[in-house]
Structure 1
Amino acid sequence: MPITVIRNADVLLAWDDATHQHVYMPNGDLAFEEGRILFVGRDYAGPADETISGTGMMVMPGLVNIHSHPSSEPMNKGFTDEVGTPGLYNSSLYEYLPIFRPDPGAVHSCVKVALSELLLSGVTTVADLSMAHPGWLDLLAESGMRVCIAPMFRSARWFTKNGHVVEYEWDAAAGEKAMAEAFTLVERAEQHESGRLFGMAVPSQIDTCTPELLKDSREEARRRGISWQIHAAQSVTEFHEITRRHGFTPIGWLHEQGLLDDRAIIGHGIFLDDHPSTPWHTRRDLEILSETGTTVAHCPTVFARRGITLKHLGRYKRSGVNMGIGTDTYPHNMLDEMRLAAYLARTQATDPRSLTTTELFEAATVGGARALGREDIGRLATGCRADFVLVDITHPMMRPARDPIRSLIYAAGDRALRSVYVDGRKVVQDGEVLTMDYRAAAEHLHESQQRIADQVPKRDWAHRSADQISPPSFLWK
């Protein structure tokens, strides 16, 4: 196989095994072959079939996104930007998300839009938490990304008939059947010819799964050596539901059942026993997460829209909790998500020292990789997968580039990204996705949204129109 060398990059964001940290390496070379990194350092002297100039570039590891919903969230743009149910503590989960879901004709466009946005923001690995849909695996492989498929399953669906009480319709047998199908799909993903797909077990939500489904899925995930993720501590309503059912907080109950360890991921993990919105008689949740090695997938944007936030990313990190970053909602822009995560952490702590950019970038790379059980992604090191991003540090918004990662996250964002490589294959060039037609998918999504809007009154408990639920910012004349 040909060997490619990026030579004399202005900056390599390399991995230092001695300190277990990313480090800036000026004037560095990176060589890769057959999707794997051969060399990270200076003055590469080995063979090279292709040479790429690194002048004016920063080479950084591809970002690792551990919580995303590509098959549904892009459809919500313009619908759920400003909605939240007052009677359910401003969560949008129970009243609104079920009625704005895409129909089968729109799902593929949703996926293509989300994955394109992720690639354009430097994500090379994503966990796709979706309900299984036709052609899912081939579509993910087409994107050129490294994808952890995470087919969700559950024992019940939630709904509300009045906007202030959440009810559950249970079918335990259907949940067990869906779990078996999910594990079969994970097997198919791991055997996919692309070689870039792997799997995760995801019982959807702590309040929609029977204890048996949670235990069975956890045991099977452990047997297979794959990660396990669940939405938990994501709403005040859910917190109270779990304390009512079990007498424990969501985190406390998962721990009591023996479900937490270093391959467990909590989607969101906001409402702990010491959160101001959910004070409880214990103060153990954060300690439990740290002691068990459990990861929290932090997705600030979707909650910030409702006036909700984790308290706070820096506190979790300093308590020893492994943190990862996800884009739960649109836009699927990882750099934007990281910037918001930093600002919310500092405002919640009223302290600019509460979270460093070092800790933030680690969460978006090696923290996420650790949660997925992958030591070969999220870092530039010999033997790792050749998943990396070229950033134009001569871009005006990167200047001055005294600290290029700060300039990227807090100023330039995706505008400075030049190229993205996954497994040594270029998938983004000069702001264009090379593997999918992003513009066509976005246009199809735009056309599909009106069809979804027309269905809203049939799905809504109060039979309201989309415009009644989510009025436009300005009147259309």
Structure 2
Amino acid sequence: MSDASPQTHCIRRAAWIIGWDADRGGHVYLRDGDVAWQGDRLIQVGGSYDGTVDTEMDGSRRLVMPGLINIHCHPTQTPIYRGFVEEYGNPRLFFNGRQDFRQSFIQDEAALRASARYALAEMATNGITTIFDLSHAYPGWLDLLDQSGLRVWVAPMFRSARWWASDGQETLYDWSPDEGAAAFAEAQAVMDAAERHASGRFSAVVAPAQIDTCTQDLLRDAIALSRDTGRVLFTHGAQSYPEFNQLARLHDKTPIGYMDSIGFLGERTVIGHAVFTDRHPWLLWPTRDDLSLLAESGTTVAHCPTVFIRDGTLLHHIGAYMDAGVNVAIGTDTHPQNMLEEIRTAELLARAAAGAQHTSTTARLFHAATAGAARLLGRDDIGRLDVGAKADLVTFDLDHPQMHPLRDPLRAIIHQAAERAIDAVYVDGRRIVSAGRCETIDWDDAARTLDREQKRIAAKAPRLDEIVPLMLPMGA
């Protein structure tokens, strides 16, 4: 066993720091201060660090901010779908879902791994330090996550049925004979392995995949497991017209109301999307209870606007959720796995939906992408730069042209520069991105592999060119 003390690193005189003010309970700007960490913990944020350091970096042309928490992503799926799903949806299902495509584009293990490897490198270079990886279990999953260097809440999804669609205006369900029991058992084994992992960066999530693809018994089993283990509970819910109609028909309740009735909501629960509540102006429903149910139970909403606006739908509006007291976190869900763009999209769509009465701001949504997510996780040591917190941080190059003029650096990042100005990313004090390049996964190689795998899978499904033709015709 080594007796060596952990090394100390310091970014000297950082021009801007997005630090944490415990009295305000929020982020604040600090100027011309040091950011130092020993091992995996911050020991100085702002001011001057006078202790001995092993490595010192000039921060005079850098901004330092906390790493972003991506509360909802699907690494094994979304990168390999690029070029197919951006504008495709089933018009008979309100453009929701891409069942025709997914029924044709069937991934195998090699394709899943190629997609995940690409996505993990992409997220690291985009300033994401913590992710909720919502995937179906596959061999080598934890090894790949370990290689990435990211902090991961491992969420092996399980369900009782898969959805599919015919040409009709209906979502169909193919129910498994055991109603999801085997998938639940497999997921539990992965959760246990994640929590035992030597990296110490993994936690487990109980993740019934969708509220409408799980039997009530399976959902109750998931609730019990979450309660008994203290693990976060996640599902996709209130995410489409067809799902809303299905649950209303079966239970005479909104999806949120149904989840409340079975005890699914709570302080350790995340609902992926929660778009179609009884407050949504596109729905005709007699109650207006859903936001209160979410707020009073302490449930967190994982807000991922890009995937919905592609289908021509949107949440109305995220400021109203926060005004009602709902805890909100931000996720990417789909590609690109870019949280900074997702924050900007969330703010702009909320402004468009709410008009002059909007209450969505850059600061509010940045909080959701950092401390808001950490609140759900029961962690006060991530999503903020504060002494004693984890050394999960991102540095930006202030000389990047997109960072100018630099009156307000957070606005410059969210509304202009995004990931283009990222210089370095650290998780647990370990650098995983340098000069904007991922050091743990070769992203260029991952991109080439992803391209080969997409072509290989697509070649097995000749109808794809009919379902999703190229955007422009081929010339002579």
TM-score computed with the length of structure 2 as normaliser? 0.96
The answer on whether the counterparts of 2:19 and 2:29 sit within 8 Å (CA) in structure 1 is yes
Q: Matches of 2:271 and 2:18 in 1, distance apart?
A: 29
**Which of 62, 67, 75 is the equivalent residue of 2:72?**
67
User: What is the percent sequence identity of the aligned residues?
Assistant: 46
1:96 match: secondary structure:
helix
**Which residue number corresponds to residue 462 of structure 1?**
none
TM-superposition CA deviations, 1:103-157 (whole Å, max 9, x none)? 2221111011111111111100000000000100010010011111100000111
**Which of 5, 30, 36 is the equivalent residue of 1:25?**
30
Q: Matches of 2:162 and 2:201 in 1, distance apart?
A: 32
Amino acid at match of 2:265: L
**Which residue number corresponds to residue 283 of structure 1?**
288
**Which residue number corresponds to residue 326 of structure 1?**
331
TM-superposition CA deviations, 1:72-91 (whole Å, max 9, x none)? 11111011111111111110
**Which residue number corresponds to residue 261 of structure 1?**
266
2:301 match: secondary structure:
strand
**Which residue number corresponds to residue 467 of structure 1?**
465
Counterpart mapping for 1:51-450 below 5 A: 51-171=56-176, 173-351=178-356, 353-450=358-455
**Which residue number corresponds to residue 48 of structure 2?**
43
> Alpha-carbon deviation of 1:67?
0.3
Moved more, 166-175 or 271-280: 166-175
> Alpha-carbon deviation of 1:276?
2.5
> Alpha-carbon deviation of 1:94?
3.6
User: Does residue 476 of structure 1 match 2:474?
Assistant: yes
TM-superposition CA deviations, 1:163-211 (whole Å, max 9, x none)? 4222112126251221122122111111111111111010000110011
TM-superposition CA deviations, 1:412-463 (whole Å, max 9, x none)? 1111100000010111111210000111111111112122222335xxxxxx
Gaps of 5+ in 1: 458-464
Cα distance change of structure 1 residues 362 and 98 upon mapping to structure 2, 3 Å threshold = farther
TM-superposition CA deviations, 1:329-376 (whole Å, max 9, x none)? 111111111111111011111138521111010011011112223221
Moved more, 231-240 or 310-319: 310-319
Moved more, 145-154 or 107-116: 107-116
The answer on whether the counterparts of 1:265 and 1:295 sit within 8 Å (CA) in structure 2 is yes
Q: Matches of 1:75 and 1:145 in 2, distance apart?
A: 21
1:78 match: secondary structure:
coil
Amino acid at match of 1:63: L
The answer on whether the counterparts of 2:319 and 2:359 sit within 8 Å (CA) in structure 1 is yes
TM-score computed with the length of structure 1 as normaliser? 0.96
Amino acid at match of 2:125: L
The answer on whether the counterparts of 1:85 and 1:163 sit within 8 Å (CA) in structure 2 is no
Q: Matches of 1:330 and 1:298 in 2, distance apart?
A: 14
2:451 match: secondary structure:
helix
Cα distance change of structure 1 residues 270 and 406 upon mapping to structure 2, 3 Å threshold = same
Q: Matches of 2:458 and 2:168 in 1, distance apart?
A: 20
> Alpha-carbon deviation of 1:18?
0.7
Cα distance change of structure 1 residues 163 and 81 upon mapping to structure 2, 3 Å threshold = farther
Moved more, 439-448 or 175-184: 175-184
- Aligned pair count? 470
Cα distance change of structure 1 residues 352 and 25 upon mapping to structure 2, 3 Å threshold = farther
| 4+ residue segments displaced more than 4 Å | none
Q: Matches of 1:371 and 1:101 in 2, distance apart?
A: 34
2:131 match: secondary structure:
strand
1:238 match: secondary structure:
helix
1:84 match: secondary structure:
coil
Q: Matches of 1:102 and 1:432 in 2, distance apart?
A: 28
Q: Matches of 2:153 and 2:168 in 1, distance apart?
A: 35
**Which residue number corresponds to residue 3 of structure 2?**
none
Amino acid at match of 2:196: Q
Q: Matches of 1:130 and 1:79 in 2, distance apart?
A: 20
Amino acid at match of 2:41: R
The answer on whether the counterparts of 2:268 and 2:377 sit within 8 Å (CA) in structure 1 is yes
**Which residue number corresponds to residue 39 of structure 2?**
34
Gaps of 5+ in 2: 1-5
The answer on whether the counterparts of 2:85 and 2:98 sit within 8 Å (CA) in structure 1 is no
Cα distance change of structure 1 residues 60 and 99 upon mapping to structure 2, 3 Å threshold = same
Cα distance change of structure 1 residues 154 and 379 upon mapping to structure 2, 3 Å threshold = same
1:215 match: secondary structure:
helix
The answer on whether the counterparts of 1:158 and 1:168 sit within 8 Å (CA) in structure 2 is yes
Moved more, 281-290 or 446-455: 446-455
The answer on whether the counterparts of 1:252 and 1:285 sit within 8 Å (CA) in structure 2 is yes
